[in-house]
Structure 1
């Protein structure tokens, strides 16, 4: 179900009870209309009515029913389409919930996929007392994008704190591999999802800032979005820093594992050499030849045993000194 409100210069926000009156509200000078709807709750007839009342391109409205679009900015003849993504943590992963923003000369329409949290946060900011919209719908779009970037920054800071904790754990407990590796790979997955939506956003905002002829923004209005663009660039820098630190931890883990395997190999080699010498001596004395020293005599057994023990002890001391065992 679509809900709509209209902001007037003299009366603040007014609920639009009859959706058929939206076209009347948005054609009146000085008004700014805000509308929102969850796509899952709309029927085809309601979608057609929304497109008609807001004067939207039918193909653009049809695209809003898909949930796999990344952040993008696409100008149409009568409006601008901006796709943003709300990211929610669910079962250790970041789940994307798209919001399709249709920005016209005096309206903003949001068709979303259960992305209530981000929209409520934005509305709480622009519905403050004495809030005026000197730039019309550009002010609403600015607040929405700024709220989105702030949300991304909170996620980036959480991942940054988590990767620092993982680094401390990796240095303090190098043998605790199982839980550390699972947490690290889960962080890498979340970071990849955040990067997937944050990095294209900087290019979209750069396009909006550098070319104010896109959509309905004027040169003065694009100045509002420079701050959002700069904040998003800082988020991208945080993502790169977290990714670099996570990769450094992975390299440290691989180095520890390689060093551990080398230690095991050295120990096995050392003990194999210690066992090999007595085996060789006993094998020689086990042959049926009379040329073996002290063969057939009583002290021959003790002579062979002394050679085996002496050689084994010598190798043990040698390997122990070198740290192989």
Structure 2
């Protein structure tokens, strides 16, 4: 069918597949690398004559989301995310996309495709795609739009994955709120850890927004069909909404931390009041006992038959009186 990618024999090199797409109008070469080896990256770099700095980025990974141009090659870094509820951590996956006329390469840097199950394994002989990746390979209408359509599908899949992450964080935020008001003293550490995850996802979303904006308004805009440009606009809108939700979560966690600190101070003040009250109650009998324990020779009560009972009664009376005073003042 006209416009559909024609099958290429297995075992052809990157250079041969790229040349095939270049020499056959309406076709493209698509390379998907799962857990790529250094020799695979070097083969791609040689076939596409990639810049040395770009080759270094591909091999070393650990890049922030960005969009850069190296000659006729666009280099996109995107970070997918999934939320691990058990550990309350955001698990990021890094993807590199190389885009040039008639060809696109997607490199998975973290051994797992975006929508693949968390337990999926990736090796060079068994590529375990998720539902979204399978949909990409089966969507001939989208593939007709060229290599930029692959970039759109990747971005759309990644951005759609931010929604469940933010919902998971919001759910744990609600649990933390209940934990704070229940008086759990260990909640502060949980707040700090979740805040750190929110900051990381916020940085990823902000960088992704900048990359998508550059892709929409860059020099390659004329090569993007109007329909695909509208789809990229929808991705940008989704990123804007995700950024707003992330900012709200970060502000909410900051407020929760402040409330928790206030409650902790209040509980500490109440504890100090109780300690001070009981210390005063115990101090009065100790003071009387200490005076009588001096055993001076001239003490009228020493020769009094009821002196011992009088001292005990005085101790008890003072203790009861102080207890009632502190109880009325809500110190104990």
TM class by smaller structure? 0.7 to 0.9
> Could you tell me which residue of structure 1 aligns to residue 118 of structure 2?
none
Distance in 2 between the 1:254 and 1:95 partners? Answer: 29
CA RMSD of aligned residues (A): 2.9
| Superposition pairs of residues 1-325 of structure 1, within 5 angstroms | 9-12=2-5, 14-17=7-10, 18-19=12-13, 20-27=15-22, 28-43=24-39, 46-88=40-82, 92=87, 93-118=89-114, 120-121=129-130, 122-128=132-138, 130-133=140-143, 135-171=145-181, 174-178=182-186, 180-181=187-188, 183-209=190-216, 211-213=217-219, 217-218=223-224, 220=226, 222-289=229-296, 294-325=301-332
8 Å Cα contact 2:104/2:150 also seen in 1: yes
Partner deviation per Cα, 1:45-68 (whole Å, 9 max, x = no partner): x43331233343343133201121
Partner deviation per Cα, 1:177-230 (whole Å, 9 max, x = no partner): 44x455444433432332232221112223333x33268755945443221111
Moved more, 18-27 or 270-279: 18-27
* Pair 99,70 (structure 1): closer, same or farther in 2 beyond 3 Å: same
8 Å Cα contact 2:4/2:27 also seen in 1: no
Shift in Å at residue 102 of structure 1?
A: 0.6
Distance in 2 between the 1:13 and 1:301 partners? Answer: 110
Partner deviation per Cα, 1:254-289 (whole Å, 9 max, x = no partner): 233222222221111011111111222222333455
Aligned length: 312
Could you state the TM-score of these two structures normalised by the residue count of structure 2? 0.82
Structure 2: 5+ residue runs without aligned partners? 116-128
Q: For 1:208, what is the secondary structure of its paired residue?
A: helix
Distance in 2 between the 1:129 and 1:69 partners? Answer: 29
